[in-house]
């Protein structure tokens, strides 16, 4: 049996291709580990989303969750496609503003933010999605015109425990029973436009999840309208739209998801006008747009067969952090037969540094190229320099060819911010790259 590919990828003479480009020479050209991104896939993902939402809702807004992947070239594509922004920190919001996103199209959803950051957001004209009543009171004299609260509904579901962001164990949001008073307070402090927000979990493949989330939050919203006399401008259902991480997994039925959300709006709101529907996809926009490629550095046959490569947990932390799985192939041996199952491991001194477990592969040799799929979301954005290992370069494939959009981190980056006592002797300068 040969290795399977994720939908949309192809083979040419045993090599993995992406949008018609052989990825194997890229490893030599740019070095490994390397992230290769397809501009077309990002645009297609956004267009599929817009299509599914707009078939059911007239008044809607899609805000890209920067945390999934903040590469400025990707943000520019997202902007060209007409999306707004979900920002979780001052740096994310500042990046978006510098790239030309308008403050009114940015929803600021920090978690346990310090007062200064909230004041900055308010003074910058962002709409703030408060995570607690305490955070609202910290900026009582500087409340923005548009205010929402993140509601911790009883129900939460993400692919993993660590990516479930509502329900009783979640650190996010205000309790349903706090909501009426929270909105009364926001009104008293001068807010003029109101929204309501929920984010129940990430990478959800079950369309019915979105019914539960929508019905729960709209019920809370109705209660607030009734008891605090507030008209709602928007309902934000957060992110969570899942993508397949394995070749045989069915994609999420987007059309069905938004039909279900529409039915829930009708059920809870009846003939009343619908507030604007907002969603904040991160993963759906970028996950399948990218692959991570690396070089096999060693093969060790013990009671388990270890395939070691330069793709490590500092670059892809999801398997170690959540037990996440990513499909992996030997990208230069797609015409070879699968011969065994390998623990695909990296170069970090941690035994959790495993990128894939029991991965069926042809016989690997040093110098082969491995490709890890679905590397566009929460990969580069969660990467670190742990063990002194670099953060990879990123190459964008578009209709006009390929272009590097992030250089690999270097030794200078690794030591950049250290202020080293005794710098004369070592050549390491205070706060300067060497």
Give the catalytic positions in this structure.
349
Identify which range of 134-142, 235-243, 303-311, 420-428 contacts ligand LLP by CB under 6 A: 235-243
Q: Does residue 92 interact with ligand LLP by CB under 6 A?
A: no
When binding is defined by CB under 6 A, the residue of 16, 18, 68, 220 that contacts ligand LLP is 68
For 46, which DSSP code? H
- Residue 8 DSSP SS3: coil
For 417, how many CA atoms within 13 A lie in the half-sphere containing its CB?
1
Rg, the chain, Cα only: 23
- Helix spans in 198-341 (H): 207-228, 254-269, 283-286, 318-322
Q: Which residues within the stretch 273-312 sit at the binding site for ligand LLP (CB under 6 A)?
A: 280-284
Q: Which residues within the stretch 5-64 sit at the binding site for ligand LLP (CB under 6 A)?
A: none
Q: Which residues within the stretch 130-169 sit at the binding site for ligand LLP (CB under 6 A)?
A: 163, 165
Q: Does residue 202 interact with ligand LLP by CB under 6 A?
A: yes
When binding is defined by CB under 6 A, the residue of 42, 199, 220, 252 that contacts ligand LLP is 199
For 287, how many CA atoms within 13 A lie in the half-sphere containing its CB?
21
Kindly state the smallest distance separating residue 289's Cβ from ligand LLP, in Å: 13
Is 353 in contact with 316 (CB distance < 8 Å)?
A: no
Kindly state the smallest distance separating residue 202's Cβ from ligand LLP, in Å: 3
Question: Which token pair is 206?
Answer: 């079950």
When binding is defined by CB under 6 A, the residue of 378, 383, 395, 415 that contacts ligand LLP is 378
Q: Does residue 394 interact with ligand LLP by CB under 6 A?
A: no
Q: Residues 261, 149, 105, CA angle at the centre, nearest 5°?
A: 75
Kindly state the smallest distance separating residue 258's Cβ from ligand LLP, in Å: 15
Q: Give the CA distances from residue 323 to residues 15, 176, 398, in Å, rounded to whole numbers and listed in that order.
A: 28, 31, 32
Q: Which is nearer to ligand LLP, 109 or 332 (CB)?
A: 109
When binding is defined by CB under 6 A, the residue of 86, 288, 368, 402 that contacts ligand LLP is 86
Q: Does residue 109 interact with ligand LLP by CB under 6 A?
A: yes
- Helix spans in 99-206 (H): 115-124, 133-138, 179-188
Terminal-to-terminal C-alpha distance of the chain: 50
Q: Does residue 389 interact with ligand LLP by CB under 6 A?
A: no
Q: Which is nearer to ligand LLP, 377 or 383 (CB)?
A: 377
Chain center to CA of 55:
25
In sequence order, the 6+-apart residues with CB closer than 8 A to the CB of 427 are: 434
Q: Nearest to ligand LLP by Cβ — which residue?
A: 239
When binding is defined by CB under 6 A, the residue of 241, 296, 345, 355 that contacts ligand LLP is 241
The pairing of beta strand 146-152 with beta strand 127-130: parallel
What are the residues binding ligand LLP (CB under 6 A)? 65, 68, 86, 109, 163, 165, 199, 202-203, 238-241, 280-284, 318, 377-378
């Amino acid at each position: 049996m040969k290795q399977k590919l994720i939908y949309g990828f192809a083979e040419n003479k045993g090599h993995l291709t992406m949008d018609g480009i052989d990825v194997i020479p890229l490893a030599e050209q740019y070095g490994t580990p390397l992230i290769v991104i397809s501009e077309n896939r990002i645009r297609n993902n956004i267009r599929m989303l817009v299509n599914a939402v707009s078939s059911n809702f007239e008044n809607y807004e899609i805000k890209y969750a920067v945390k999934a992947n903040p590469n400025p070239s990707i943000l520019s594509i997202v902007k060209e496609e007409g999306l707004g922004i979900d920002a979780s920190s001052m740096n994310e919001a500042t990046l978006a503003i510098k790239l030309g996103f308008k403050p009114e199209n940015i929803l600021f959803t920090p978690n346990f933010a310090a007062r200064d950051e909230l004041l900055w957001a308010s003074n910058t004209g962002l709409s703030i999605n408060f995570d607690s009543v305490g955070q609202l009171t910290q900026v009582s004299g500087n409340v923005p015109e548009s205010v929402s609260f993140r509601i911790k509904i009883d129900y939460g579901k993400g692919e993993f425990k660590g990516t479930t962001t509502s329900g009783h164990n979640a650190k996010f949001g205000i309790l349903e029973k706090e909501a009426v008073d929270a909105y009364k307070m926001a009104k008293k402090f001068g807010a003029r436009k109101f929204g309501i927000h929920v984010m129940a979990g990430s990478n959800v493949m079950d369309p019915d999840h979105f019914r539960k989330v929508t019905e729960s939050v709209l019920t809370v919203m109705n209660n607030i309208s009734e008891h605090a006399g507030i008209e709602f401008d928007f309902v934000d259902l957060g992110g969570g739209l899942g993508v397949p991480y394995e070749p045989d997994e069915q994609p999420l039925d987007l059309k069905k998801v938004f039909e279900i959300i529409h039915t829930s709006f009708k059920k809870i709101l009846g003939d009343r006008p619908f507030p604007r529907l907002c969603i904040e996809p991160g993963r759906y926009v970028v996950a399948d747009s990218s692959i991570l490629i690396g070089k096999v550095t060693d093969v060790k046959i013990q009671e388990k067969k270890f395939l070691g490569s330069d793709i490590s947990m500092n670059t892809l932390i999801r398997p170690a952090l959540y037990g996440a799985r990513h499909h992996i192939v030997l990208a230069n041996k797609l015409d070879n037969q699968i011969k065994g199952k390998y623990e695909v491991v990296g170069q970090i001194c941690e035994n959790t540094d495993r990128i894939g477990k029991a991965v069926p592969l042809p016989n690997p040799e040093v110098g082969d190229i491995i490709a890890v799929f679905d590397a566009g979301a929460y990969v580069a954005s969660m990467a670190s320099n742990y063990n002194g290992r670099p953060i990879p370069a990123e190459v964008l494939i578009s209709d006009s060819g390929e272009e590097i959009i992030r250089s690999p981190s270097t030794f200078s980056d690794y030591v950049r911010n250290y202020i080293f006592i005794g710098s004369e002797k070592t050549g390491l300068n205070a706060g300067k790259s060497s």
